[in-house]
Amino acid sequence: MSELAEALAGLEEDKVAKLVQQKLDSGDDPMAILNDCRRGMDIVGERYKAGDYFLSELIVSGEIFKDSMKLIEPLLKTGANASATKIVLGTVKGDIHNIGKDIVAVLLKGAGFEVYDLGIDVKPAAFVDKLKETGAPILGMSGLLTPSFDSMKETIEAVKEAGLRDKVKIVIGGGVVTELVQRHTGADAFTDDGLEGVEICKQFAKEVK
């Protein structure tokens, strides 16, 4: 394991920032630096699954990764991430909870996805417009309020009406989301865990390639 991956996995914020800047100043390949950071995020995920880390550690690691990305992204070559699977993400209409979604967005970026995060209180039409614009084959919607279920269903209906449903895999997430909600909305999968959500999206990415 690289020193950078180990530092990120250990949640050493200052050390990660210093190592990333040093590597960039030395002319190291930005993609190689990014991959080290992703490996660190993978380790965080493993520790979370093992019960060694908790939600707070996931949040901290996500912030460290985001700060690293701010340094790395401007130096990534155009098209370097051309093979990345695109995903549209957002908290549905009527819901303004964003912590879980933000964690998932960072984890997905760490796993190599190209993420289009629409934020909170996203109307069905906005999801559809972004799917059309990007050609993303995966849609992720989150919600923590029970009224969100109808918003999720409404969005999926809008995706159908736009003629995109057979081209887009849809996963819904949130602490109150269940298999029953999945059936109600018509989604392809559901999760109440961010890391599981990333694994679902990885499987979807294999299916749509």
Q: For the chain (length 209 residues), average pLDDT per consecutive 10?
A: 94 97 93 88 89 90 90 67 85 89 86 93 98 98 93 98 98 93 97 90 92
Domain that holds residue 180: 86-208
Helices 99-110 and 30-49 meet at what angle, rounded to 10? 130
Contacts (Cβ under 8 Å, ≥6 apart) of 22: none
Question: Is residue 111 located within the same domain as residue 182?
Answer: yes
pLDDT by residue (tens digit) across 29-68? 888 898 899 899 889 988 988 999 988 898 899 899 989 9
* Residue 10: inside a domain: yes
Number of domains, the chain: 2
What's the farthest any 2 CA atoms get from each other in the chain? 53
Question: Is residue 187 located within the same domain as residue 91?
Answer: yes
* Residue 80: inside a domain: no
Read off the tokens for 66.
């985001």
